[in-house]
Amino acid sequence: MKYTIQTWVNNPILRSKSVEVETIDDELQLFFLVLWKMMYANDGVGLAAPQIGNNVRVIATTQREKKSGKSKLIGETLMVNPVITDKSKEMITAEEACLSVPDVFGFVRRHKSVTVEFLDHKGHKQTKKLKDFNATIIQHEIDHLDGVLFVDKMVKEKPSKKDSRKGKEKK
């Protein structure tokens, strides 16, 4: 099967609720590799399976450390059937961009920290607590599994100015 980046806010694949993974078989392992490859090929900081046309609850995520505006890759985590089990009351509003909605940039309000439970690529149960930018990646990607796009939650769109949009970290 050929996977391609799915775009457009009314794309039925992006708007569907993805199904839980029941078995992590060889075919799914190959899909994990495709998801990673496409995330990095498109300079994404995260990518959800429906974004490349497969409605299963799988996300590829990176963890980053922000220092004076620049972000450095400090980890990567594949999550199968991710569920947010705890979230901070404190919220943050930050700029987001999405590979599936390439022309829109804007601000979204999200929980400052989240705890997420998931299965790793071997099917082992894992728990991770993430904060700030790394927490927004998880929330953005899990929304994709539920057919939700960041534009649905956007509190303010960033005015279009081509230059300011270059090199934005897309999810």
Catalytic residues: 141
Nearest to 112 by CA among 88, 146, 96, 95: 88
Q: How many CB atoms lie within 10 A of CB 90?
A: 9
Listed ranges 15-23, 24-32, 70-78, 96-104: which one lies at the site for Zn ion (CB under 5 A): 96-104
Listed ranges 14-22, 35-43, 77-85, 92-100: which one lies at the site for Zn ion (CB under 5 A): 92-100
Interaction between residue 110 and Zn ion (CB under 5 A): no
Nearer CB in complex with Zn ion: 31/150: 150
Site string for Zn ion, 30-69 (x = CB under 5 A): ----------------------------------------
Nearer CB in complex with Zn ion: 24/138: 138
3-class DSSP state of 74: strand
Strand 125-131 versus strand 113-119 pairing type: antiparallel
Helix (H) or strand (E) holding 95: strand 91-98
3-class DSSP state of 100: coil
Interaction between residue 171 and Zn ion (CB under 5 A): yes
Closest distance between Zn ion and the C-beta of residue 101, in Å? 7
Among 28, 98, 114, 116, binds Zn ion (CB under 5 A): 98
3-class DSSP state of 69: coil
Q: Copy the structure tokens of residue 65.
A: 């450390």
Binding residues for Zn ion, rule: CB under 5 A, are 98, 171
